[in-house]
Amino acid sequence: MYVDCGTLYTGASVVDDGRFTVSDGRVETVGTQESVAGEGERLDLSTEIVAPGFIDAHLHLKGARSMDPMAWVTGTVSEDAARAVADADSLLDAGFTTVRDVGSDVAIGVRNAIDGGEIAGPRVFTSGRSISQTGGHGDMHMFPREWVTDGAGISTLADGADECRRVARERHRDGADLLKIMTTGGVLSEKDDPNEPQFTDEEVTALVEEAHRVGMPVASHAQGSEGIKRALENGVDTIEHGFHVDDETVDLMLETDATFVPTLAIMHRILAEGESHGVPEHGLRKARAASEAHYESVKRAKAAGVEIAAGTDFIGPELIPHGENALELELLVTEADFTPAEAIAAATTTAGRTVPDDVGGLATGNHADFITLGSDPATAIEAVYDVERVYKGGERVR
Ligand SMILES: [Zn+2]
């Protein structure tokens, strides 16, 4: 099959009168209608704006419908799973053909049902439950301890290098695609702070060694500079949130070829509307305190040439619903000095770096996941919400 496009965003460049060929669900050759020979069936999108399918490099396929952490621990797994299936469908509608889930107890099952062709959804790569130290970001320390150790939380607790190794091995046994760890405190956790480092060097090293031994990348929730540094120095592959990325951590990201996933979208929504959606007071306070530094961090990293991927941290409630994930692309443009083409690259080629598969831009060997947009994002970035057709592996799915 070959696809003729009006304007083609490949994820690396923008091509007028573009063409790419597809074989066995994967992209073969990409160029212009003049330079690439068409073979087999022609898909005529020659009057359309074509882009790679979007990737959300940081979300939670958790089926949450409230911002109140109490609801997350008292909800049932069956309800969460059913709602996560609906969310997967919404993501596909919005042009997201791949997502990286970084903390959920239902995403592995949803992934398997999508892979089996039983339900519709994007390609899902998941960490399963994330891993936190006791009293850390993933420990729900506003609740009784046994709710976390025995309940259906997003995180598993591990303390000491030996336990970290065991829990990392458990994630591999569960069928996780990557590991998600917490090396700082956070916004929605009550008793810690984004600037507090969490896990020792020995613990991070143990987690990373066990993951890398079996080919799993490691993502770290890391907001303050000390915890970002600790993650990078011990081999973590992606830095999530990064409120306080300073010159030293920028250099470390470049040196280690790490990817930075800032998750501007959740912060934006918490600040704009969090109060009326039940975000706890400590969350609102910490989000306000971090906001300015957060945008500065992204601009600093971008100017230095750090690889920055689009990720929303959306979980499913009305404030941060799946289906509105293109907000991250909009914010990269309006708040962080990205051009529309750079924002599309962040949500395709660069986001593809965070998962262990051939996804990302329309480039030779990648899965042929692509979408059409109703107008050109170069004119107005809001075009990224106007997804008309969605193709996954060369097949039309929307
Ligand atoms: Zn998250």
In angstroms, what is the span from residue 34 Cα to ligand 1's centroid?
44
Q: Tell me the C-alpha to C-alpha distance, in Å, between residue 290 and each of 102, 186, 193, 317.
A: 21, 10, 11, 22
Q: Which structure tokens are listed for 221?
A: 């929730």
Tell me how far the alpha carbon of residue 102 lies from the centroid of ligand 1, in angstroms: 6
Q: Which helix (H) or strand (E) holds 204?
A: helix 201-213
Task: Identify the CA nearest to 173 among candidates 185, 165, 181.
Answer: 165
Cα(142) to centroid of ligand 1, in Å? 18
pLDDT digits (tens, 9 = 90+) for 148-157: 777 666 789 9
pLDDT value of residue 151: 67
State mean pLDDT over 232-258: 98
Alpha-carbon distance of 324 to 321, in angstroms, equals 6
pLDDT band for position 117 (cuts 50, 70, 90)? very high
How far apart are the CA of 86 and the centre of ligand 1, in A?
19
CATH code for residues 54-352: 3.20.20.140
CA 90 to chain centre: 16
Specify the pLDDT at position 313.
97
- Cα of 310 vs centre of ligand 1, distance in Å, is 13
**CB-based contact 97:55 (threshold 8 Å):** yes
Compute the distance from residue 144 Cα to the ligand 1 centre, in Å: 22
Give the distance (Å) from ligand 1 centre to CA of residue 256: 22
pLDDT of residue 71: 86
**What separation in Å is there between the alpha carbon of 13 and the centre of ligand 1?**
30
- Going from the Cα of 59 to the center of ligand 1, the distance in angstroms, rounded, reads 6
Q: Which residue has the tokens 């920055």?
A: 308
**Residue 397 pLDDT level (bands cut at 50, 70, 90):** very high
pLDDT attached to residue 75: 83
Res 115 pLDDT > 70: yes
Which pairs from 26-29 meet CB under 8 Å and 24+ separation? Answer: 26/358, 26/365, 26/366, 26/367, 26/368, 26/393, 26/394, 27/362, 27/363, 27/364, 27/365, 27/366, 27/367, 27/368, 28/364, 29/364
255 Cβ neighbours under 8 A, 6+ residues apart = none
For 122-172, the DSSP string reads -EEEE--SEEE-TTSTTS-TTS-HHHHHHS--SEEE--SHHHHHHHHHHHH
338's tokens: 């990205």
Instruction: Compute the CA torsion angle 72, 74, 78, 79 (nearest 10 deg).
Output: -60
pLDDT for the residue 218: 98
CB atoms within 10 A of CB 113: 16
Question: In angstroms, what is the span from residue 302 Cα to ligand 1's centroid?
Answer: 21
116 Cβ contact partners less than 8 Å away, ≥ 6 residues apart: none
Give domain 2-52+362-396's CATH superfamily. Answer: Urease, subunit C, domain 1 (2.30.40.10)
pLDDT at 188: 86
Please state the pTM of the whole predicted model.
0.97
The answer to whether residues 260 and 245 touch, using CB atoms and an 8 Å cutoff, is yes
36 Cα–ligand 1 center, Å:
41
**How many A from CA of 323 to the centre of ligand 1?**
16
Closest CA to 74 of 82, 64, 83, 84: 64
Residue 194 CA to ligand 1 centre (angstroms): 13
Looking at residue 350, its pLDDT comes to: 98
Q: How many angstroms is it from 223 CA to the middle of ligand 1?
A: 12
Distance of alpha carbon 31 from alpha carbon 14, whole angstroms: 10
The distance from CA 65 to its chain's CA centroid, rounded to whole angstroms, is: 19
Asked if residues 241 and 291 have their Cβ atoms less than 8 Å apart, the reply is: no
Residue range 121-147: average pLDDT? 92
Distance 378 CA to ligand 1 centre (A): 29
Instruction: Report CA(259)–ligand 1 centroid distance (Å).
Output: 15
- Rounded to an integer, what distance in angstroms lies between the CA atom of residue 130 and that of residue 144? 19
pLDDT tens by residue, 172-212: 999 999 999 999 999 988 888 899 999 999 999 999 999 99
DSSP strand pairing (130-132 vs 155-157)? parallel
Q: Cα–Cα distance between 33 and 20 in angstroms, integer? A: 8
Q: Which amino acid is at 213?
A: R
Give pLDDT, residue 152: 60
Q: Is the pLDDT of residue 141 over 90?
A: no
Alpha-carbon span 398 to 244, nearest angstrom: 39
So what's the pLDDT on residue 144? 84
Distance from residue 214's CA to the centre of ligand 1 (Å) = 23
Write down the domain spans for the chain. Answer: 2-52+362-396, 54-352
Residue 334 has pLDDT above 70, yes or no: yes
Asked which of 73-82, 262-271, 388-397 is least confident by mean pLDDT, the reply is 73-82
Ligand 1 center from residue 341 Cα (angstroms): 25
H-state helical runs in 12-132: 69-74, 77-93, 107-115
Give the tens place of pLDDT for each residue, 52-94.
Answer: 999 999 999 999 999 988 888 888 899 999 999 999 999 999 9
